[in-house]
Structure 1
Amino acid sequence: MTNQELQALVEKISQESFRQPFCHKASFNQRLKTTGGRYHLKSHDLDFNHLVFEKYGIEELAKVIKHELCHYHLHMAGRGYQHKDREFKQLLKKTGGSRFTPPLITMTYQVYQCEKCGQEVKRRRKLDTERFVCGDCLGKLKFLKTIEA
């Protein structure tokens, strides 16, 4: 999906779900990693994570667009546009937008096991098994596997 197609989709969803025009710019932002979208308070532009469309398809992207449009339309109307505001929560529920983005990145973990007590240790970073030992019994650690969660 290109930025022009995204702009057209945002304008269409704004008209259908909110019955108000979207008069600013919507685009994909390659720098977004963990969030689905972002609303800019000063410029009123919307940024979206390209991974939402690539991993979950247009249905999930439409929910993220509705979420960001809730921020947009409430802010433009001078009403409560933040996540904590009741008006935001009500409008989000009414339009069918998603409250949270599904996981966009997978985390990898290194699993180690103590040779002495059998304790399993799960770490995000690799450990130097010559330098680090078990925290319980000071036994030697052995690398088992890498897992994704």
Structure 2
Amino acid sequence: MEETELQDLVERISLNDFGKPFCHKAIFNNRLRSTGGRYLLRSHNIEINKKYLEQLGQEELIGIIKHELCHYHLHLAGKGYKHRDADFRALLKKTGAPRFCNSLPDAPKRRTAKKILLYKCSSCGLQYKRKRSINTTRYVCGKCRGRLVKVGEVQVQ
């Protein structure tokens, strides 16, 4: 798909689903990595990640375009265009646009196993679970002011 075809598709979706014309540019942006598309507030243009079309197909692309057009039309109307706004969520539901796009199949998985560090007070035996390590020479137990000792780590998914 060329950018002229993308422009025609965006204009057609805007008229059919929103009843309003799209009067700005819709382009492919190959530098987008973690998102399917974005609406630019200053220029009112829409940028689309071409990898979503290539890897997930036309239906996913149409969903991304509808999502970005929701931002576009609400912003131009002076209504709430951000993800958390009620106007935005209502328009997403009305047009059948997805709130989030699916992840790409070849995208690297970012979630790693997290570790929880376990500490125990040497005096009263109170246990502490922490994500970040504690300097045991500087910090003491909050209950009895006893010395903290690192007990171990637990892997959490």
TM-score after normalising by structure 1: 0.71
The answer for the alignment partner of 1:25 in structure 2 is 25
Shift of 1:101: 1.2
Write out the 4+ residue segments of structure 1 that deviate beyond 3 Å after TM superposition.
Answer: none
1:26-72 deviation per Cα after TM superposition (whole angstroms, max 9, x unaligned): 00000001100000000000000001100111111000000000000
Alpha-carbon distance, 1:108 to partner: 6.3
Q: Distance in 2 between matches of 1:39 and 1:77?
A: 15
Measure how far apart 1:106 and its partner are: 2.5
> Structure 1: any 5+ residue segments left out of the alignment?
110-135, 137-149
Matched, 1:9 2:3: no
Corresponding residue for 2:90? 90
Q: Which runs of 5+ in 2 are unaligned?
A: 111-151, 153-157
Pairwise CA distance, 1:107: 1.7
State the TM-score, normalizing by the size of structure 2.
0.68
Q: RMSD of the TM alignment (CA)?
A: 1.6
For the pair shown, which has the larger CA radius of gyration, 1 or 2?
2
Per the alignment, residue 108 of structure 2 pairs with 107
Residue 27 of structure 1 aligns to a residue in which SS? strand
Alignment of 1:49-88 (within 5 A): 49-88=49-88
1:102-148 alpha-carbon deviations (Å, 9 max, x no partner): 11242269xxxxxxxxxxxxxxxxxxxxxxxxxx7xxxxxxxxxxxx
Q: SS where residue 94 of structure 1 aligns?
A: helix
Q: Aligned partners of 1:72, 1:66: CA distance in 2, in Å? A: 10
How many residue pairs get matched?
111
What CA distance in whole angstroms lies between the structure 1 residues aligned with 2:108 and 2:74?
35
CA distance in 2, matches of 1:16, 1:108: 36
Shift in Å, 1:90 = 0.5
Residues 117-128 of structure 1 correspond to what in structure 2 (within 5 A)?
Answer: none
Secondary structure of 2:66's partner?
helix
1 CA distance for matches of 2:98 and 2:9? 17
Structure 2 counterpart of 1:128: none
Q: Deviations over 1:77-116 (max 9, x none)?
A: 000000000000000011011111111242269xxxxxxx
